Amino acid sequence: MQISIDHIKEDFRFLESWEDRYQYIIDLGESLEPLGADEKRDENFVQGCMSSVWLVIKETGDGTLDIRGDSDSAIVRGLIAILIAFYTGVPRSRFKGRDASLLFSDLKLETHLSPNRRNGLHAMNSRIQSRASAE
């Protein structure tokens, strides 16, 4: 079941401690279906992440993208889940108008993630944005 970005934002506001929020992020990551070994190939690998990250991004036919991802880090899997929720159902033509950095700021991820994790988060977002503007 795909969780909405509005639901994630609401849950973040409800959770008071960052320990609880980190656990929530991990739980979001656990809800992702793992990628198969055949999908963990170079073309899906995201450069710029401290952890190993793969994103599989495909056109759906209705103008949106199907985004799936995986990582060897529990926290990063959760960050992938947040990005997927942020972009799910959004037409590719509107991706450029969506600013994930505002989302990261709203959730206070910018200040509570290590610089390496923030860089990885931005690398994943850049990969999605790049794919949306391709084709």
Catalytic residues: 49
Distance between first and last Cα of the chain: 29
Give CB contacts under 8 A, 24+ apart, made by 39-48.
39/68, 39/70, 40/70, 46/120, 46/123, 46/124, 46/127, 47/123, 48/119, 48/120, 48/122, 48/123, 48/126
